[in-house]
Structure 1
Amino acid sequence: MAEHSPGSPNVIVVFTDQQRWDSTGVHGNPLDLTPVFDRMATHGTHLEQAFTANPVCAPARATIQTGRYGTSTGTFRNQMPLPAGARTLAHHFGDAGYRTGYIGKWHLADEDPVPPEQRGGYQHWLGANLLEFSSDDYRTVVFDDDSEPVLLPGYRSDALVDAAIRFVGDAVGVPAAIGSGSGDDPAPGRAPFFLFLSLIEPHHQNEVDSYPAPEGYAERYHGRWLPPDLAALSAEGGTAHQHIGGYWGQVRRVDEGLGRLLEALRSLEVLDDTIVAFTSDHGCHFKTRNSEYKRSCHDASIRVPMAVRGPGFDGGGRVSRPVSGVDLAPTLLDAAGLPVPEQMQGRSFLPLVRDPGAEWPDDVFVQVSESEVGRVLRTSRWKYYVAAPDADPWHDACADRYVETALYDLVHDPYELVNLAGVEAHREVADALRQRLAERMVEAGEGKPVIEPAPPADANSQRRVDPAVRTLSVRPARLGHQ
């Protein structure tokens, strides 16, 4: 067991659900939705190019918890609980003497209330497996350590932030701090804490397919700015115009909650001793790429906001190299001075914070599951995507045979509107990306794949949206798996 040192930092992860990277001001959103996150990114460390390991809820969450891809943990799609033997952040921090807590949505069990053996080793529990079904915007029902239902008052993200503040207060000893009248540690020798706060916003409310924001918030943003990809594609389908006001309103309220949490840490005199990481499980394309909100290769699905502040990250500036959700767990352990287990498939990006020129790959690997078995290689310039036409996405974690399905030049086409798969002028680029993707798949524990080239396509072809699957494609290439 690794013991914590007297100077071990506290660690908090604030985790949202379905939040696009460009919902933030530091990524160019002009609506001033995230002033708190933007300050955190500016004064701490901003991971400018951060990506999920899978744009599906459960495998993305399993990866964040374990530092392993969904095909390695066994949780490669939804409705697959995290295996009992999986080692999570809670196990690693708990073994080092940290007090661990989980608040909010879990989505890594097979029932609600989540039984103790499926809680990933967290000591304190106030959560629900499927929070979107146990609650709505002003009725937040979670389950406590004893699996008893607890109704938390207020708007849902506020209610969970309030619970997080109570956890922190208990962990640092609020009564002693209030009564001491001094800046001394109110509980000398206390154990540091690790808290995972998992919000549902800005996810849609499933049963009504809406994005319920607090009263008055959606109205602020209806009819205002749309990200360029949504503006280009919404005329051909999707729900962006219908839902964007509520979505932006949810993002704004979450950011206000983040501000209250940071203020509470300051009030309790532990802000400077606490690492706070903010990110999301995946993005949202508002049904413009397929019939769902995510599960596609596009940045709208796979790119997420990520910033970290606190010891080791303050003043780190902007990290421009691509990083993945699989890298977050090893980074947090590394920053806390704890060993990174060899079985983790991610790597700590703390060296990049200290030295932007540190050795680091210029690509991330993303698995796409549930809607299809797909694989993404995303570099700073290129997006390369393959799909397995013969695989059953509900039963097959991976496949032996894939077909090139999408290629985007993100420098000249940042919103992924023109698919270059099969264009002969880009054959050399595609071949190099194909080789690198195969290497990344093997590194992730998959078998070496056969990847077939896309059928020839005309470089002057016009983009279109197939009305049957609402999938962006280019004639005449076979692009039904985007």
Structure 2
Amino acid sequence: MSKQTRPNVIVFFTDQQRWDTTGVHGNPLGLTPNFDRMAQEGTHITNSFTCQPVCAPARSSLQTGKYATSTGCYRNSIPLPEDSQTLAHYFSGSGYRTGYIGKWHLADEEPVPAGKRGGYDYWLASNLLEFTSDSYDTVMYNNDNEPVKLPGYRVDAITDAAIRYIDKHQEDPFFLFLSYIEPHHQNHLDNYPAPIGYESQYTGKWTPPDLTALGGSAPQHLGGYYGMVKRLDEAFGRLTDTLRSLGLSDNTVVLFTSDHGCHFKTRNSEYKRSCHDSSIRVPTAITGPGFKGGGQVQRLVSLIDLPPTLLDAADIPIPASMQGSSILPAIRKVEEERPDDVFVQISESQVGRALRTPRWKYSVSAPDKDGWEDSASDTYVEQFLYDLEADPYELTNLIGLDAYDRITRELRGRLTEKILQVEGYAPVIIPAETRPSVQRRISIHEK
């Protein structure tokens, strides 16, 4: 590939964004017209899931293409090993300029020294952006670790920096990773600070069924959260306008995704770290060369599949060490022999594992392990089973019901095999106590 024809690659990465904030997933509030247009005109990964519903582990997986137990960053506050090979190394090794702007969360000090930046050439970032900045007070660090205060609402300040980077590097093939903190809560406030005037537009508006049923902090926080999502989408529109104005749209791959979702204190005492779709399902779409007009990818896709997809799109060899697989064959309608499921590792709140299929959600936990101290367990106990066709918002736990014994046994075997494949050992999974199904009966056609 010549320098002139190699596609630029941009990752637009949000933090804690639920899939159903988007119009293409049924949100009626018009929050994401730019994402929706991209999903319709490019490739929409309809069923997209994180492989670890907490910040640092998910980020380690997206940078390396490995599960969090393989990177070693199985929870927050474990830095990415300095000898890790990241997307920046692979793109740089193939002649790309590389840049990182925004939240890193893969180091153990602030500012982040050069050796802990994952190999990125250009650096304007903070390890913990939620602590070095506020919604209207954005401070990050440059290549020389000098503090840089950027004007405007934080989403806009980071987007302005990205636009400057693109303009400066339009003659180079570049890989730019753009990492926002929004719509993550502002930690010191435990609040979701939208731009001035945005929160009131969405307070008391449409609420997802799981939050309507389970309550949590949604009545207090959803208006601000939606306002942050709206501003992110406006920023995404500015970014795509920049590419269009510079004549780069047709030669730039743009990935929009998030590290995990948000359940608003309905599944545990905070916002993520659970097996539920509210924690693990995220909005994902890709456009640009190879993805324009790709339609919907219906099979389940994990965050672990995105790094090999980006390398594949740039015609860079996919390392054998990566544990996911490119989705380009699926877009090209190439037949693949692979299970239609995603594997999720859960830390901090618990040591847990989950398997998500098109129909079922099956999750186990290790009650004798500490989610902060222990990365895995040799023994798990069944925790959840949901029928996602009948119960898409996971309100009725079926685990232990005798009518679902055959399905549970099958999923138990599949999860055990997945853990063996990813982590190198086969744990014991203790079945849940059996209980009568009463009105529930499985037909002979049940899958």
For the aligned pair, the TM-score class normalised by the smaller chain equals: over 0.9
Aligned-residue Cα RMSD (Å) equals 1.3
Alignment of 1:138-157 (within 5 A): 138-157=136-155
Please tell me whether the aligned partners of residues 4 and 98 of structure 1 are also in contact (alpha carbons under 8 angstroms): no
Superposed, 1:376-395 pairs within 5 Å as 376-395=354-373
Relative distance call for 1:138 and 1:356 in structure 2 (3 A) is: farther
Distance 1:405 1:461, change over 3 A: farther
Deviation for aligned residue 1:102: 0.1
Letter aligned with residue 269 of structure 1:
G
Deviation string 1:369-428 (CA, Å, 9 cap, x unpaired) is 111110010000000000011212112111100011000000001110000011111011
Q: 92-101 vs 441-450, which deviates more? A: 441-450
Q: Is the 8 A contact 1:213 1:247 kept in 2?
A: yes
Pick one of 323, 339, 353 that aligns with 2:331: 353
Of 211, 219, 235, 2:200 maps to 219
Counterpart secondary structure, 2:37: helix
Given that residues 14 and 278 in structure 1 are in contact (C-alpha distance below 8 angstroms), is that contact kept between their aligned partners in structure 2?
Answer: yes
Who is 2:444 aligned against? none
The residue number in structure 2 matching 1:341 is 319
> How far 1:40 moved relative to its partner?
0.3
Contact 2:329 2:335 in 1 (8 A): no
Q: Which residue of 1 aligns with 2:114?
A: 116
Whether 1:442 and 2:420 are equivalent positions in the alignment is yes
Contact in 2 for aligned 1:97/1:191 (Cα 8 Å): no
Q: Distance in 2 between matches of 1:349 and 1:378?
A: 18
For 2:181, give the aligned amino acid: I
Q: Distance in 2 between matches of 1:443 and 1:305?
A: 27
Residue 435 of structure 1 aligns to a residue in which SS? helix
Matches within 5 A, 1:196-235: 196-234=177-215
CA contact (8 A) 1:54 1:302 kept: yes
Deviations 1:247-278 (Å, cap 9, x if unpaired)? 00000000000000000011111111000000
1:321 and 1:360 in contact (8 A); partners too: no
1:357: Cα distance to partner? 4.9
Report the 3-state secondary structure (helix = DSSP H, G, I; strand = E; otherwise coil) of the residue aligned with 2:247: coil
Residue 418 of structure 1 pairs with residue 396 of structure 2: yes
1:9 has 2:7 as partner:
yes
3-state secondary structure, aligned to 2:169: helix
Matched, 1:46 2:44: yes
User: What's the offset of the Cα at 1:461?
Assistant: 9.8
Whether 1:320 aligns to 2:301 is no
Query: Aligned residue for 1:257?
Result: 235
Q: 1:191 is matched with which residue: 154, 157, 172? A: 172
Aligned to 1:56: 54
Give 1:296-335 correspondences, 5 Å limit. Answer: 296-335=274-313
1:18-33 matches, cutoff 5 A = 18-33=16-31
Q: TM-score if structure 2 supplies the norm length?
A: 0.97
Distance 2:28 2:424 in 1: 41
SS at 2:423 equivalent: coil
Aligned pair 1:242/2:223, yes or no?
Answer: no
- CA spacing shift, 1:109–1:4, aligned 2, 3 Å: farther
Q: Deviations over 1:418-453 (max 9, x none)?
A: 000111110110110111111111111231110010
Deviation for aligned residue 1:37:
0.1
Distance in 2 of aligned mates of 1:81 and 1:361: 32
How big is the shift at 1:457?
Answer: 2.8
The superposition leaves residues 75-119 of structure 1 with CA deviations (integer Å, 9 ceiling, x where unpaired) of: 000000001111100000000010000000000000110111000
Shift of 1:358: 3.8
Q: Is the 8 A contact 1:4 1:97 kept in 2?
A: no
Letter in 2 for 1:142: M
Aligned letter for 2:173? P
DSSP-derived class of the 1:438 partner: helix
Please give the alpha-carbon distance, in whole angstroms, between the structure 2 residues aligned to 1:44 and 1:331.
14
2: distance between equivalents of 1:162 and 1:265? 13
Conservation of the 8 A alpha-carbon contact between 1:4 and 1:96: no
Structure 2 alignment gaps of length 5 or more: 441-447
Return the letter of the residue paired with 1:292: E
Q: Deviations over 1:324-358 (max 9, x none)?
A: 00000000000100000000001101101111754
1:122 maps to a residue whose letter is: Y
Distance between the aligned counterparts of 1:381 and 1:111, measured in 2? Answer: 42
Q: 1:367 aligned to 2:365?
A: no
Q: Distance in 2 between matches of 1:374 and 1:353?
A: 32
Aligned twin of 1:96: 94
Cα deviation code 1:221-249 (max 9, x no counterpart): 01110001100111xxx100000000000
Counterparts in 2 of 1:4 and 1:432: CA distance versus 1, 3 Å: farther
- Where in structure 1 do 4 or more consecutive aligned residues deviate above 6 Å? none
Determine which of 82, 85, 102 is the counterpart of 1:84: 82
- Partner of 2:363, secondary structure, is strand
d(CA) in 2 for partners of 1:274, 1:286: 35
Shift of 1:292: 1.0
| 1:185 alignment partner in structure 2 | none
Rounded Cα–Cα distance in structure 2 between residues aligned with 1:223 and 1:363: 35
Task: Return the letter of the residue paired with 2:381.
Answer: V
Q: Secondary structure at the match of 2:38?
A: helix
Match of 1:269 in 2: 247
The percent of aligned pairs where both chains have the same amino acid is: 62
- Residue number in structure 2 paired with 1:75: 73
Counterpart residue number, 1:466? none
How far apart, CA to CA, are the structure 1 residues paired with 2:62 and 2:155? 20
Q: 1:166 — aligned with what? A: 164
Q: CA deviation at 1:360?
A: 3.6
Shift of 1:297: 0.6
Could you say which residue in structure 2 is the equivalent of 1:476? none
Give yes or no for contact 2:3–2:172 (8 Å, CA) kept in 1: no
Structure 1 length as normaliser, TM-score?
0.90
Q: Which runs of 5+ in 1 are unaligned?
A: 173-189, 463-482
Distance 2:315 2:121 in 1: 21
Amino acid of the structure 2 residue aligned with 1:200: I
Q: For this pair of structures, how many residues does the alignment match? A: 440
Cα distance in structure 1, aligned partners of 2:336 and 2:297: 11
